[in-house]
Amino acid sequence: MTPVGFPAVRPRRLRRTPQLRRLVRESRLTPAQLVLPCFVKEGLTRPEAIPSMPGVVRHSLKSLAAEARQAQRLGIGSILLFGLPRRKDARGSQADAAEGIVQQAVRAVKAAASALTVITDVCLCEYTDHGHCGILRGTHVQNDATLARLAAIAVSQARAGADVVAPSAMMDGQVRAVRRALDAAGFTETPILAYAAKYCSAFYGPFRDAAASAPQRGDRQGYQMDPANVEEALREVALDIEEGADLVMVKPALAYLDVLRAVKERFHWPTAVYQVSGEYAMLKAAAARGWLDEDRATRELVTAMRRAGADLIITYAARRVAQQLHAAP
């Protein structure tokens, strides 16, 4: 409605040229707000393709360093590391090994691209032989026993040089346990990015292929969130902030933009969103069939996440988006 006393306005006047559209753009995206997730696999000598995620690979340490250098050249702000160990066991013992694959990867990225913020995933699913995110007893994940393992992993990763640690197991009290362990080990300045509202989603399938982390029995409905709930997400975020989370995350992205908006409006806290593997794979599949323009669709989806309130956007398309932003800001 036009305010009383004002002349009639034609909104199209400000849409007429690229320059005018940029002038009044409400949601602005820069490469620095992008986070590139990367898989690194112990023992690889060259990258290994992931069929369900076209354009994404499991890296060797050498290829990861090259990927990090390219991300830094594009101005991408952060890299998020997931590790695939050579050996798995019931307690995920390689997750906090001093020479574990993520610990080696952190050092490789820091040496290759010092301007990148290195974020490490703190979880057990890639390291356990049963594929669950915690210590399993029978068919149930043991919350409190898992906290000690998550704390040890976070300290090991911080010791290797991680700039930010990101507990993702959705155990009650995980942020408090990680914060206390980091502080006790002298890493009082290491921030925590909490996977605060992580839903039990159908969109994780390609990731589980990539990370070889699918549960061997049972599922994760007992600790990841019910997709029907948003008030519960707000409670989870509030708890994580109270326990010491410096940043919080909503995961996945596209089906949970309402949750992202609610989190940002309620807490005004640094907030990340994760465009997960299934979301990425759907887009790639549709583009491969000529059903949509991949560049435009990717940019539109990432802009929607930014518009909904994301300060950081974790996406496997980070390089592609950064290249677009450089070409046509």
Active site residues: 198, 251
Longest dimension (CA), the chain: 73
3-state secondary structure 250-263: EECCHHHHHHHHHH
CA 289 to chain centre: 27
Contact 178, 152 (CB under 8 A): no
CA 252 to chain centre: 9
Contact 167, 195 (CB under 8 A): yes
Number of other residues whose CB lies within 10 A of the CB of residue 299: 18
Is the peptide bond preceding residue 227 cis, with omega within 30 degrees of 0? no
C-alpha–C-alpha distance, residues 295 and 283, integer Å: 10
C-alpha–C-alpha distance, residues 95 and 118, integer Å: 17
For CA atoms 6, 18, 280, 101, give the dihedral sign: negative
Which DSSP helix (H) or strand (E) runs through 117?
Answer: strand 117-122
Nearest to 39 by CA among 72, 84, 70, 78: 84
How far, in Å, are 37, 86, 264, 302 from residue 305 at the CA level?
17, 36, 12, 5
- What is the per-residue DSSP string for 69-114? HHHHHTT--EEEEEEE-S--BTT-GGGG-TT-HHHHHHHHHHHH-T
Contact 302, 227 (CB under 8 A): no
Which DSSP helix (H) or strand (E) runs through 136?
Answer: strand 135-137
